[in-house]
Amino acid sequence: MEAFLHQVLSGLATGGVYASLALALVMIYQSTNHINFAQGEMAMFSTYLAWNMINAGLPYWGAFALTIAISFVAGVVIERVIIRPVENAPVLSVVTVFVALLVIFNSIAGWIYTYTIKTFPSPFPEQPLFGNRYISSHELGAIGVTLTVLVVLYVFFRFTPLGLAMRAAAQNATSSRLVGIRVGWMLALGWGLAAAVGAVAGMLVAPIIYLEPNMMSGVLLYAFAAALVGGIDNPFGAVFGGFIVGILENLIGAYVIGTELKLTVALVLIICVLLVKPTGLFGKVFATRV
Amino acid sequence: MNDALVTPPLSMTRYAGLSLRAWKMVGLVALVLGAIALPFTVSNYRVFQFNMVLVYAIVLLGLNILTGYNGQISLGHGAFYAIGAYVAAILMDRVGWPYWATIPVAGLACFVSGFLFGLPALRLRGHYLALATFALAVAMPQLLKYKHIEQWTGGVQGIVIIKPDPPFGWKITPDQWLYLFTLAILIVMFILGWNLLRGRIGRALIAIRDHPIAAEAMGVNSALYKSLTFGVSALFTGVAGALGAIVVQFVAPDSFTAGLSINFLVGIVVGGIASISGAVYGALFIQFVPNFADQISKAAPWAIYGVFLLLFVYLMPTGVAGFVRWVYQRLRLARGGTDKPAVAKPS
Amino acid sequence: MDSRGMLATCLLALLLTAIPAVAQKKYDVGATDTEIKIGQTMPYSGPASAYGTIGRAEAAYFQMINDLGGINGRKITLISLDDGYSPPKTVEQIRRLVEQDQVLMIYQSLGTPSNTAIQRYLNAQKVPQVFVATGATKWGDPKNYPWTIGWQPSYHAESLIYAKYLLQTKPEAKIAVLYQNDDYGKDYLNSLRAGLSAKSKSILKEVSYEVTDASVDSQIVTLQASGADTFFIFATPKFAAQAIRKTYDIGWHPLQFVNNVSNSVGTVLQPAGPEKAEGLISSFYLKEPTDPQWLKDKGYKDWVEWMKKYYSQGDLADLGNVYGYTVAQTLVQVLQQCGDDLTRENIMRQAANLKNLELPMLLPGVKLNTSATDFYPLEQMQLARFDGKRWVLFGEVLSGR
């Protein structure tokens, strides 16, 4: 029983990792209707920038804030310069641009920082909460931060005029222009926010899984799965999906089939969920007009 | 603009005595003859590389049928490529079959698995389908390493295959023979694909892609077509996988990572979506550009590759095939005032 | 002897001395009076790109040799190509090196699947596949693959050493194993089982992980639940660090072993938390560059100096750079032994002719030895225990035969 509880809590911790990146994926989807394959690599790169700053002597929170700011600006620039030319291109071309970005960021990070793992500090205390052995303070803190970001984003998109404008721009660019929304800048803003959320994800995740250029490659699939299984247009769904994926992954690996077929089981699960709920557990069902 | 839907305008002008159609046939024949002559003019190593180009072209044609013409995004074709490759390797190494017999079996195995995968995929579209297929690609290497089938698959060590010798004692190198063998299969597959796409079935596929509800209303059995398309697409990829295994002479789980599937997708986008010739252009890209990028920068070659990718997508948004078509149409328009611009004429 | 006879004898003597002098310089393709061309594939991209530093270190070492005049007056040209750890790419690159670049030999290609893919081709083409950069046990097979030779102690040898030690000091151990789900991890696991022979049932639980996994925390929890009191970690650096840290954090304190590839103080134990790695046992054949006990050692100081001058962007904490340096030195020795006979056959003959070769960054007592029937240059390792600050070597240099 104890082992079971342990697996669940451990799964919650890894789930937090997936959830934070899934949130960035949902962010970008809500503001641009695209899934950014390069999100993980951008987050990794932001984390390296933070690492550079901390090594140079900046205090943790200073580096944290500065990295978020830089990532935001970088996200805006990337959208305006690199994504803008393919804004109206078919989906597959846009996906290819994301693949290109992924490859570029990964390669440059490897070139500048080499592939040895680096430690990234955590702002949370070293001692586990209540001295428990199941989940570290950082892992708990990371989940807390992710949930906070989630709430902030939800409030932003639902209750602020800017958030509304961004959602409108993503869903119906033409009509949005007609009501005076600067669609181009809304998209750029969306990218900036997603990059910032990604940077937070990276900095939360790095102390757990160690910083190296391929850090996010494994996480991306699970974050992708979490976002989609939870419902790509629903940030709560994505975060919830992340925890589900983390816990299930652990339980399946430990009790059902062993780690040797974990991925196949994950595949089957994903398909099963999508068969029953094709737009994810909490996604909206779209009715199309004929 | 799709190859199959827009009837190319039949020009009445003759160029040096032959109509446009005839010139196109001449061009095609010249291309095939050139391809046959190629292995005898370059080194064995280059023959090997061009052989891989042919293999990838078959894959990309298969993927294009599914994604380009039928609109079902697949980020998992590397898995079918792997299945085809392993079927060929197991039949050759463990069961002792000759290499040429493994090709149809690989194709059939992949048709079945593709069709079976296509069934649940019916309910998924867009990003969700992409995720499901991507999960397939990611799961495949682990599945191949599974210890209970290790006896057949060679587990993590993989299977080494012996390269076949030219038949009838012909005096050509095994590399040249394999190239010609692959070329022959490629021509057969391309003719099959072209036939499939330009007829009723092709139109049905495109209709399902562009207006699924209208297509159903017109009596197209969407579900059947979509699943069959998955199967056919997987069949092409499986045949290519078997050929690829024989050319490389080795299969191992590490050869079929998720990156391979992404590579195939990149191939059809760069080559030209919904285009048959695009398969060849895309294959040339994914085979040679990484090598080229490596020569430019040893420090971060994939960054260079990424830049190339961006350039191709920006400059040729409809792929190389689309670009070629555009150039061709500009040349036709520039030829003189008597040529009417591209307007569909009743044939 | 009459004068004609004298003349004849003198001419004959002259001829006899002249012929060997002319016949001494023998070259195969890739070798000339001024150059020795060597080919290599390394995973500079992809999941194994952490090992790419080995290729760069080797290139940097050859650069230094060239600056010092080369080997017998010949410069070494290393053509190192990226194969992304993908066997089809390895095949392509190796064919290019052999058929287009016309190299003399293939040196230190990295990866077991990569080398498996090219082994038959290279042996059929009679191209030396020298000092393959993998510890898989199958490379030392001169009867079937006379052109392929390994270098580092095989995973098999290493596991045998651990098994022997365990059987001697803790025969009733209850064992748990974490291993990477590829040839590397499986080789270690199977060899451990073989080494324990009768006691192989003591392996209570073995759990794998994939390179694409984010973390191995779940696996550690499963292993603890098995009730084992001895724990083997057969992993690559990132996952080893995660494993060591998690094991400590959940309050499990087994007798822990970590494999040779992942025992670096700077790149594995520091990130894990040195206090969490106390008591860890591993095996060594190279001097670990972040271990303070080597700070005053001449071999180490030379290595640092070389790194600073020729490979300044390399990480001084990365064991891969010590590895690359030492293998490069081994090749230099082989080439020097070849003298002016740079045929492929002679390369293999000299590679199989290393007798008690000691190199500066090998542990004292560890020597390279090869012969016509022994294609395993390094078989010795020494066990060490981590005391929270550094690795303390104990026992003797053991052979993993």
Q: Range with the lowest mean pLDDT among B181-185, C8-12, C37-41, C244-248?
A: C8-12
Q: Do C218 and A133 touch (CB under 8 A)?
A: no
How many structural domains are present in chain B? 1
Task: Please state the separation of Cα A143 from the chain's center in Å.
Answer: 13
pLDDT at B20 over 80: no
Q: Mean pLDDT throughout B73-89?
A: 94
The predicted complex's ipTM stands at 0.87
Task: Note the pLDDT of residue B83.
Answer: 95
Q: Is C204 on the interface with A (CB under 8 A)?
A: no
Number of C-alpha atoms within 13 angstroms, CB side, residue C58? 31
Q: Is C82 on the interface with B (CB under 8 A)?
A: yes
Q: What is the mean pLDDT of chain B?
A: 86
Quick check: is B235 in a domain?
A: yes
Model confidence pLDDT, tens digit, residues A77-126: 999 999 888 888 888 888 899 999 999 999 999 888 888 888 999 888 88
SS3 C203: strand
Report the residue of chain C nearest B287, measured CA to CA.
C89
State the Cα–Cα distance between residues C55 and C85, nearest whole angstrom.
Answer: 13
Q: Do B142 and C121 touch (CB under 8 A)?
A: no
Q: Which of A5, A112, A115, A255 to mutate to test the interface with C (most CBs of C within 10 A)?
A: A115
State the Cα–Cα distance between residues B27 and B10, nearest whole angstrom.
Answer: 17
Q: Which of residues 211-250 of C touch B (CB under 8 A)?
A: 212
Quick check: is C376 in a domain?
A: no
Q: Which letter does DSSP use for residue C169 in this model?
A: H
- One-letter amino acid at C252 equals W
Task: Note the pLDDT of residue C161.
Answer: 92
Instruction: Locate A109 and state its tokens.
Output: 């990070």
Q: Do A107 and B126 touch (CB under 8 A)?
A: no
SS3 B288: helix
Q: Which of residues 185-214 of C touch B (CB under 8 A)?
A: 186, 210, 212
Q: Mind telling me how many Å the CA of B215 is from chain A's nearest CA?
A: 11
| Proportion of chain B above pLDDT 90, given as a percent | 42
Quick check: is B9 in a domain?
A: no
SS3 C276: helix
Task: Note the pLDDT of residue A286.
Answer: 61
Beta bridge partners, C281, equal: C257, C385
With beta carbons under 8 A apart, name residues in chain B contacting A279: 128
Please tell me whether residues C159 and C260 are part of one structural domain. Answer: yes
Predicted TM-score (pTM) of the model is: 0.88
Task: Note the pLDDT of residue B211.
Answer: 86
Task: Note the pLDDT of residue B4.
Answer: 54
Q: Is B257 on the interface with C (CB under 8 A)?
A: yes
Nearest CB among B157, B244, B302 relative to C116 is that of: B157
A7 sits in which H/E element: helix A2-32
Please tell me whether residues C234 and C273 are part of one structural domain. Answer: yes
Instruction: Locate B37 and state its tokens.
Output: 């002559």
Q: Which of B75, B123, B119, B227 is nearest to A279 (CA)?
A: B123
Quick check: is C10 in a domain?
A: no
Nearest CB among A6, A214, A260 relative to C208 is that of: A260
Range among A153-157, C74-78, C391-395, C396-400 with highest mean pLDDT value: C74-78
Range among A156-165, A216-225, B53-62 with highest mean pLDDT value: B53-62
Instruction: Locate B77 and state its tokens.
Output: 């074709």
Quick check: is C355 in a domain?
A: yes
Checking phi first, is residue B266 left (phi over 0); if not, alpha (psi -120 to 50) or beta?
alpha
pLDDT at B91 over 90: yes
State the Cα–Cα distance between residues B234 and B243, nearest whole angstrom.
Answer: 14
Nearest CB among C45, C95, C98 relative to B302 is that of: C45
Domain with C98 in it: 35-153+296-370
Q: Which of C277, C217, B287 is nearest to A13 (CA)?
A: C217
Interface A-B, measured as beta-carbon pairs within 8 A, has a size of 122
pLDDT at B195 over 80: yes
Helices assigned H by DSSP within chain B: 20-37, 44-63, 77-90, 99-121, 126-144, 150-153, 174-198, 200-210, 212-217, 222-248, 258-271, 277-296, 301-315, 319-334
Cβ proximity of C244 and C276 under 8 Å? yes
Task: Note the pLDDT of residue A261.
Answer: 83
Quick check: is C60 in a domain?
A: yes
Nearest CB among A10, A17, A107 relative to C221 is that of: A10
With beta carbons under 8 A apart, name residues in chain A contacting B124: 274, 278
Report the residue of chain A nearest B308, measured CA to CA.
A100
Q: Do C221 and A136 touch (CB under 8 A)?
A: no
Domain with B163 in it: 49-260
Q: Do C92 and B48 touch (CB under 8 A)?
A: yes
Quick check: is C108 in a domain?
A: yes
Confidence grade of residue B17 (pLDDT, cut at 50, 70, 90): low
Task: Note the pLDDT of residue A270.
Answer: 78
Q: Mean pLDDT throughout B180-193?
A: 93
Confidence grade of residue B70 (pLDDT, cut at 50, 70, 90): confident
Task: Note the pLDDT of residue B16.
Answer: 64
Burial class, B12, CB count within 10 angstroms (exposed 0-12 / middle 13-18 / buried 19+): exposed
Q: Mind telling me how many Å the CA of B78 is from chain C's nearest CA?
A: 13
Q: Do A259 and C208 touch (CB under 8 A)?
A: yes
Instruction: Locate C85 and state its tokens.
Output: 């750890």
Quick check: is C39 in a domain?
A: yes
Cβ proximity of C214 and A219 under 8 Å? yes
Give a three-class secondary structure readout of C295-353: CCCHHHHHHHHHHHHHCCCCCCCCHHHHHHHHHHHHHHHHHHHHCCEECHHHHHHHHCC
Q: Do A7 and C318 touch (CB under 8 A)?
A: no
| Proportion of chain C above pLDDT 90, given as a percent | 62
Biggest CA-to-CA distance, chain C: 97
Contacts of B61 (CB under 8 A, 6+ apart): B189, B190, B193, B236, B276, B279
What are the contacts of C223-227 at 24+ separation with CB within 8 A? C223/C176, C223/C177, C223/C178, C224/A3, C224/C176, C224/C250, C224/C252, C225/A3, C225/A6, C225/A254, C226/C174, C226/C176, C227/C174
pLDDT at C22 over 50: no
Confidence grade of residue B11 (pLDDT, cut at 50, 70, 90): low
Task: Note the pLDDT of residue A281.
Answer: 80
Q: What is the mean pLDDT of chain A?
A: 87
Task: Note the pLDDT of residue A87.
Answer: 82
Q: Do B294 and C82 touch (CB under 8 A)?
A: yes
DSSP string of A74-135? HHHHHIIIIIGGGTTS-HHHHHHHHHHHHHHHHHHHHHHH-SS-B----SS-SSPGGG-SSS
Q: The CATH number of the domain where C75 resides is what?
A: 3.40.50.2300
How many structural domains are present in chain C? 2
| Proportion of chain C above pLDDT 70, given as a percent | 94
SS3 A21: helix
Q: Which of A257, A262, A271 is nearest to A225 (CA)?
A: A271
Please tell me whether residues C224 and C340 are part of one structural domain. Answer: no
Cβ proximity of A214 and A204 under 8 Å? no
State the Cα–Cα distance between residues A168 and A189, nearest whole angstrom.
Answer: 13
Quick check: is C1 in a domain?
A: no
Burial class, C304, CB count within 10 angstroms (exposed 0-12 / middle 13-18 / buried 19+): middle
Task: Note the pLDDT of residue B339.
Answer: 46
State the Cα–Cα distance between residues A144 and A200, nearest whole angstrom.
Answer: 12
State the Cα–Cα distance between residues A56 and A50, nearest whole angstrom.
Answer: 10
Please tell me whether residues C103 and C250 are part of one structural domain. Answer: no
